[in-house]
Amino acid sequence: MSKTFVSKTFVSMTAATASQVPKPKAEGRSPFVRLHELLADLKPGKPAINLSVGEPQHPIPPFVGPVLQAHLADFGRYPANKGTDGFRKAAAAWLDRRYSLARPVDPETEVLVLNGTREGLFLGAIAAKRYVPPRAGAPAILIPNPFYAAYSAGAGAAECEPVYLPTTRETGFLPDLDAIDEALLKRTVAFYIASPSNPQGAVAGPEYLSRIVAMARRYGFMVFADECYCEIYLDGRAPRGMLEASDPDFANVVVFHSLSKRSNLPGLRVGFAAGDRKFLARYIELRNIAAPQVPVPAQEVAIAAYADEEHVEKNRELYVAKFDLADQIVGDRYGYKRPAGGFFLWLDVSKHGGDEAATQKLWREGGLRVIPGHYLARDGADGRNPGEGYIRVALVQDKETTAEALHRLVAVLG
């Protein structure tokens, strides 16, 4: 048989096989891949401004380069998977300063370094499934809806049923705890909660946080608090943290923090998990075999970042200024109301053709790239998608670009 025949046959068989592979369901795909496909055949009507990705565009702190330079030689060795002593002490010290805790966090047993919060939140579900006592029924993981995609990916990897809890204007853009029945709580493995929430920017109060902790301890599940937006607050009031609600032993609670938003370092990929020491002891066993170590030079940058508040305050001032612009330019259109935290606008465009149509119109006529809200959510038990009819707009550009984008948005949508 000739090489040519074999080659052609292989190509033919490969093409045939590929045509038989079913396209993944929408709910299992990246919202950004779906957005790319939605806009692929359209040309932007003006110079493009990307408001779809929550990637901070503010300058990185000035100390990053010098710290990396001083520790270049440390790229030549494997670091400990749990993090260096210096990093864990810095993270613990920052938690102690940032929150009103009943006791200091123990850096030796209650803090672990992460390659950013995405890795940590994903692996958390798998570790929780192995850690919690047997469930009374099919194991489930509770997820606010809309949500950060790593939550549902973790639930799937852990072979748990993802149960999506709607977060709507009526619920204050946080899950309605009274709507969770006892049968579901008895089979819950973990409960993901974000405050400030993504995308709506809602901040949970101390009573709400305490209720979640009480539920977790009563029913034996883990609480995973995604607090990566905690330093971007817009009303002068720093959000409370889940560790404050779980004093004094932090049982059943792990918080996840990152430098991506706090310090404009999304590419550094450094964060940490802190809380329940018994769970973290099991969690590090999983990280030791399933996750890469965080380079020591990156951890050294993180140590400097957690020791410095000046760059954080300047960063927050920039976001406040951009929301001041949104208040002026958007006003009360599209159901806009200044959120308590985060850097997203969550705009109701249901009267403008719906979220996909509005997204296409903004790109085609205004060169604005936003993301349809229902791409960030799932249909609930009632068949409704709480993101339907909304668009998420990330205010991550500089002030001038943001002002231009908001003026275009209003001009296009009216």
Cα 335 to Cα 357: distance, rounded to the nearest angstrom = 18
Q: What is the pLDDT of residue 380?
A: 87
Provide the pLDDT confidence category of residue 24 given band limits of 50, 70 and 90: low
Cα 310 to Cα 407: distance, rounded to the nearest angstrom = 31
Give the chain's mean pLDDT. 93
Neighbours of 42 (CB within 10 A): 13
pLDDT at residue 22 tops 80: no
Q: What is the pLDDT of residue 12?
A: 40
Structural contact between residues 359 and 39, judged by C-beta atoms closer than 8 angstroms: yes
Provide the pLDDT confidence category of residue 209 given band limits of 50, 70 and 90: very high
Integer CA distances (angstroms), 187 to 139, 183, 246, in order: 5, 7, 21
Structural contact between residues 243 and 255, judged by C-beta atoms closer than 8 angstroms: yes
Nearest Cα to Cα of residue 118 among 258, 234, 6: 258
Q: What is the pLDDT of residues 107-139, one digit of tens each?
A: 999 999 999 999 999 999 999 999 999 999 999
pLDDT at residue 346 tops 80: yes
Q: What is the pLDDT of residues 218-257, one digit of tens each?
A: 999 999 999 999 999 999 999 999 999 998 899 999 999 9
Longest CA span, the chain: 77
Cα 299 to Cα 71: distance, rounded to the nearest angstrom = 10
The secondary structure element, H or E, covering residue 348 is strand 344-348
Count the residues in the chain: 414
pLDDT at residue 38 tops 90: yes
pLDDT at residue 172 tops 90: yes
- In the numeric block, the tokens 């889940």 are attached to 242
Q: For the chain, which domains are there?
A: 23-52+311-413 (3.90.1150.10), 74-308 (3.40.640.10)
The answer to pTM > 0.85 is: yes
Q: What is the pLDDT of residue 4?
A: 42
The average pLDDT across 30-48 equals 96
Nearest Cα to Cα of residue 234 among 204, 202, 194, 259: 202
Cα 194 to Cα 240: distance, rounded to the nearest angstrom = 12
Angle at 282 (CA atoms; ends 195, 307), nearest 5 degrees: 50
**Could you say which DSSP state residue 263 is in?**
S
Q: What percent of the chain has pLDDT over 90?
A: 91
The average pLDDT across 30-42 equals 96
Residue with the bigger pLDDT between 13 and 102: it is 102
